[in-house]
């Protein structure tokens, strides 16, 4: 069954943007059930959300899409996340007070699911003391507030009040929706990004890895309660809060950091695209142009193989970026590097893998199990991959 987001749309001009949020949540694998307040229905229609989500839309406390079943209780129980988007000052006040004045606030009273609020309103309303006190109350109870942005709001005034970006709202839902204890008490070491092998002080050998898959694995493992050491080559990403970030540049530095980090680890995942070769010698000064030149390269240590040698009992999951003979290439690496499993990416496809936001993987286990992890956002793929690995490790 898909994870359900109950989306409460309240009466702000930004109500139309809840459509994009709903679509993006569905793209990320959620089932979205919308609930419109009476004032929201003045801006957008229930029919619009019904068509978008393919699910009944609730607007009134007595709505009963399944005859004889109390929708507010069913939806409250089914919700993995409650999202209020956009959230008006009034909706925030009602939710903070614990009252229920319409269908969504009734569901919220009955639900134990985490709540995400995405406020959108006039900047003076947003910064007003009662509104800020109400938000603080909700935060104290565990709600996450996706702060509105600075800019020009619908009434023409400037300030903080514009609904946050679709990406920021969806990211908050994903984080809340996948919180679990599956990896509680486990220490996971994850490598991410490319490595850089210097040729001279200004030039290096590297590759196209963006680091996104490794960072999403770190984020997902943290959501599942693990402690995470993220050993990252040079990337333009922000590490997820709570990860112990070790920045490295070259393959040799990455190897040293990994061998230290795995000493007390329960799992190592090698998502980094480690450069296979480095220059035999790094020129101390910038190399001047003087006709054709030859660069002598030497093979880098294989980080996963060395980790396996150092701790043969440690489960290690590698990645295989293949363009041809995918299955064979992936399985060979399991044997060669002493892996528990390997995640195979078909890097000849443009829609997934390198630098893309989505991925699709085939997970080959050393004992022959093959699991397809369907195309989705890299975060979703990370969650599915970790869930399968944790199950196979009997965690
Ligand atoms: N890897 C590593 N150390 C290296 C090279 C790769 O730990 N020096 C890890 C990667 O992090 C990845 C896996 O090994 O998890 C597969 O890397 P890949 O480059 O695809 O495989 P190679 O062993 O380099 O084989 P080839 O390039 O010949 O396909």
pLDDT-above-90 percentage for the chain: 80
Average pLDDT along the chain: 93
Candidate from 106-120, 285-299, 349-363 with smallest mean pLDDT: 349-363
Quote the ligand 1 centre to 149 CA distance (angstroms).
42
In CATH, what number does 4-176 get? 3.40.50.1950
187-392 CATH choice from 3.30.300.160, 3.40.50.720, 3.40.50.10300, 3.20.20.70: 3.40.50.10300
Q: Are 34 and 23 in contact (CB under 8 A)?
A: no
Active-site hit among 19, 35, 85, 155: 155
Is pLDDT above 90 for 174?
no
Q: Mean pLDDT, to the nearest integer, of 261-272?
A: 98
Is pLDDT above 60 for 251?
yes
Write the burial class of residue 165 (CB in 10 Å: 0-12 exposed, 13-18 middle, 19+ buried): middle
The rounded distance, in Å, linking the Cα atoms of 189 and 262 is: 7
Q: Are 79 and 114 in contact (CB under 8 A)?
A: no
Q: Mean pLDDT, to the nearest integer, of 262-291?
A: 96
Is pLDDT above 70 for 1?
no
Give the pTM: 0.74
| 35 labelled catalytic | no
Non-local CB neighbours of 65 within 8 Å, separated by 6+ positions: 56, 58, 71
Q: What is the pLDDT of residue 181?
A: 83
**Ramachandran region of residue 242, left (φ > 0), alpha (ψ -120 to 50) or beta?**
left
What does the pLDDT look like over 332-353, one tens digit per residue?
A: 999 999 999 999 987 777 776 6
Q: What is the pLDDT of residue 346?
A: 78
Topology agreement, domain 4-176 and domain 187-392:
yes
Which is higher by pLDDT, 331 or 96? 96
Q: What is the 3-state secondary structure (H, E, C) of the chain?
A: CCCEEEEEECCCHHHHHHHHHHHHHHHCCCEEEEEECCCHHHHCCHHHHHHHHCCCCECCCCCCCCCCCCHHHHHHHHEEEEEEEEECHHHHHHHHHCCCCCHHHHHHHHCCCCEEEEECCCHHHHHCHHHHHHHHHHHHCCCEECCCEEEECCCCCEEEEECCCHHHHHHHHHHHHCCCCCCCCCEEEEEECECCEEEECCEEECCCCCCHHHHHHHHHHHHCCCEEEEEECCCCCCCCCCCEEEECCCHHHHHHHHHHHHHHCCEEEECCECCCEEECCCCCCCCCCCCCCCCCEEECCCHHHHHHHHCCCCCEEEEEEECCCHHHHHHHHHHHHCCCEEEEEECCCCCCCCCCCEEEEEEEECCCCEEEEEEEEHHHHHHHHHHHHHHHCCC
Residue ranges of domains in the chain: 4-176, 187-392
Quote the ligand 1 centre to 241 CA distance (angstroms).
28
Is pLDDT above 90 for 207?
yes
Atom of ligand 1 nearest to the CA of 299: 8
Q: Nearest residue CA, atom 17 of ligand 1?
A: 320
Which is higher by pLDDT, 327 or 166? 166
Q: Nearest residue CA, atom 7 of ligand 1?
A: 303
Q: What is the pLDDT of residue 226?
A: 96
Q: Mean pLDDT, to the nearest integer, of 8-30?
A: 93
Quote the ligand 1 centre to 363 CA distance (angstroms).
16
Is pLDDT above 70 for 354?
no
Q: Mean pLDDT, to the nearest integer, of 218-229?
A: 94
Which is higher by pLDDT, 156 or 278? 278
Candidate from 69-78, 261-270, 325-334 with smallest mean pLDDT: 325-334
Q: Mean pLDDT, to the nearest integer, of 56-64?
A: 91
Q: Mean pLDDT, to the nearest integer, of 233-253?
A: 95
Q: Mean pLDDT, to the nearest integer, of 5-17?
A: 97
Q: What is the pLDDT of residue 322?
A: 75
Q: Are 43 and 16 in contact (CB under 8 A)?
A: yes
Q: How do 297-299 and 277-279 pair as beta strands? A: antiparallel
Which is higher by pLDDT, 325 or 281? 281
Q: Mean pLDDT, to the nearest integer, of 203-216?
A: 94
Quote the ligand 1 centre to 131 CA distance (angstroms).
53
Atom of ligand 1 nearest to the CA of 320: 20
The rounded distance, in Å, linking the Cα atoms of 48 and 46 is: 5
What does the pLDDT look like over 100-123, one tens digit per residue?
A: 989 999 999 999 999 999 999 999
């Amino acid at each position: 069954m898909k994870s359900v987001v109950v989306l409460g749309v309240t009466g702000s001009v930004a109500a139309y943007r809840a459509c994009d949020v709903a679509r993006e949540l569905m793209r990320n694998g959620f089932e979205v059930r919308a609930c419109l307040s009476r004032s929201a229905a003045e801006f957008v229609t229930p029919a619009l959300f019904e068509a978008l989500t393919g699910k009944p839309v609730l607007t009134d406390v007595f709505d009963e899409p399944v005859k004889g079943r109390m929708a507010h209780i069913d939806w409250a129980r089914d919700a993995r996340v409650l999202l209020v988007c956009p959230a008006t000052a009034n909706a925030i006040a009602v939710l903070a007070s614990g009252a229920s004045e319409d269908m969504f606030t009734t569901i919220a009273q009955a639900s134990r699911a985490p709540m995400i609020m995405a406020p959108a309103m006039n900047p003076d309303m947003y910064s007003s003391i009662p509104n800020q006190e109400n938000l603080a109350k909700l935060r104290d109870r565990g709600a996450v507030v996706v702060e509105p942005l600075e800019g020009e709001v619908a009434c023409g005034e400037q300030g903080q009040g514009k609904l946050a970006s679709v990406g920021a709202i969806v990211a908050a839902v994903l984080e809340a929706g996948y919180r679990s204890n599956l990896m509680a008490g486990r220490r996971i070491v994850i490598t991410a990004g490319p490595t850089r092998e210097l040729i001279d002080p200004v030039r290096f050998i590297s590759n196209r890895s963006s680091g996104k898959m490794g960072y999403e694995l770190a984020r997902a493992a943290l959501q599942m309660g693990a402690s995470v050491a993220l050993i990252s080559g040079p990337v333009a990403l922000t590490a997820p809060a709570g990860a112990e970030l070790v920045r490295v540049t070259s393959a040799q530095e990455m190897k040293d950091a990994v061998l230290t980090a795995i000493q007390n680890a329960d799992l190592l995942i090698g998502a980094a695209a480690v450069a296979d070769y480095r220059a035999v010698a790094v020129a101390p000064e910038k190399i001047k142009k003087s006709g054709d030149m030859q660069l002598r390269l030497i093979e880098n240590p294989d980080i996963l193989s060395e980790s396996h040698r150092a701790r043969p009992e440690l489960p290690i999951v590698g990645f295989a970026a293949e363009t041809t003979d995918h299955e064979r290439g992936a399985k060979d690496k399991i044997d060669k590097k002493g892996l528990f499993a390997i995640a195979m990416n078909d890097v000849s496809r443009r829609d997934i893998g390198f630098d893309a936001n989505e991925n699709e993987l085939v997970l080959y286990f050393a004992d022959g199990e093959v699991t397809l992890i369907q195309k989705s956002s890299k975060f979703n793929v990370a969650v599915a991959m970790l869930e399968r690995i944790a199950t196979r490790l009997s965690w």
